[in-house]
């Protein structure tokens, strides 16, 4: 689990490539390990394969929305405090 003294493992999900790239750059510059996904389904596949401390998602994506992603992430790992 993430603590204030350690970088977080962040899963960033957004279907806008400009937003995705910009946020990923900001988070990496802050020292965090970032995995990018360009859709809700790609984000969920990544979440299932890679340990994640925090999931940041766009809620208005086409296909699987961020709300769908959030519900599924919480169902997969209810102990993830920053995955909601």
pLDDT of 9-47, one tens digit each? Answer: 999 999 999 999 999 999 999 999 999 999 999 999 999
Kindly report the three-state secondary structure assignment for every residue of 38-66: CCHHHHHHHHHHCCCCEEEECCCCCCCCH
pTM of the model: 0.86
Domain ranges of the chain: 27-76
pLDDT of 66-79, one tens digit each? Answer: 999 999 998 988 88
- Distance spanning both ends of the chain, measured CA to CA: 15
Burial class (CB in 10 A: 0-12, 13-18, 19+), 50: exposed
Q: Token match 């350690």: residue? A: 6
Angle subtended by helix axes 40-49 and 66-76, to nearest 10:
20
């Amino acid at each position: 689990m993430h603590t204030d003294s350690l970088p977080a493992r962040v899963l960033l999900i957004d279907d806008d490539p400009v937003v995705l790239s910009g946020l990923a750059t900001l988070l990496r510059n802050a020292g965090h390990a970032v995995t990018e996904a360009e859709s809700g389904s790609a984000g969920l596949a990544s979440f299932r394969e890679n340990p994640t401390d925090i999931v940041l998602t766009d809620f208005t994506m086409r296909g699987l929305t961020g709300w769908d992603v959030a519900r599924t992430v919480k169902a997969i790992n209810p102990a993830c405090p920053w995955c909601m």
